[in-house]
Amino acid sequence: MPGIDDTDREILRLLVEDGRRSYRDVAERVGLSPPTVSDRVDRLRDRGVVRRFTAELDRSRLVEGEAVLVDLDVEPGAVGAVLDVLADVPGVEHADGTVDSRVVFRAHMDRSELRELLSGTLDEGWIRACDVRLIAGTVRNPGASGAALAIECVVCDRPVDGNGVTVDLDERSYDVCCSSCASKLRERHDELRRAADGGRSTERRRRGNG
């Protein structure tokens, strides 16, 4: 059944609290068997709710430098390129791009590394203005509880509740909130497939004429 129930929320809360928990430990806490917990986690991973299990590092204890928050005002259309560069820069912990052509990222590095990043690694033509601030404190809240935790419909972005529908297309599952959105999703899929088939037919004819 589409959506996330209270048991899913509790499983996610336990794993966020300690990603090293065994499925047996989680199962004992939620009153299920370990295989059932494993199946639920696999389902949440298949639907994109759980992306990966990872370790969170405190860079301040591993490398020298300062924690900074950098706000870049970039040229329209350059947000994606800036994010691609930042993804490969050691010391950049998190970066977000906004619809109004800004990129904000948190990093832990010394001043020379930051200067090289802003004036060398990043294309200066992308950056219109830059603001750098030292971080005085941080609060992290990766919790997985409350009503805000819900799968969104891939068509209309509304929450998918227990009355939702799962649509299987090309060996992938998509969650939608209602039968109407399910029909729209299938129609879009069919249109894309027809367009792709038409493109392949045109290419075959072109090669045949050549």
- Residue type for 32, please? L
Domain 1-55, architecture per CATH: Orthogonal Bundle (1.10)
- pTM attached to this predicted model: 0.50
- Residue type for 59, please? R
The model's pLDDT over 15-57, given as tens digits with 9 standing for 90+, comes to 888 878 888 999 999 999 999 999 988 888 877 777 666 656 5
Beta carbons of 181 and 156 less than 8 angstroms apart: yes
Rounded-to-integer distance, Cα 32 and Cα 7, Å: 9
Quick check: do 1-55 and 59-134 share a fold? Answer: no
Collect all residues with Cβ–Cβ distance below 8 Å to 182 and sequence separation of at least 6: 165, 167, 176
* Residue ranges covered by each domain of the chain: 1-55, 59-134, 168-209
How would you class 116 by CB atoms within 10 Å of its CB: exposed for 0-12, middle for 13-18, buried for 19 or more?
middle
The model's pLDDT over 74-85, given as tens digits with 9 standing for 90+, comes to 998 899 999 999
- Domain at 59-134, CATH class: alpha beta
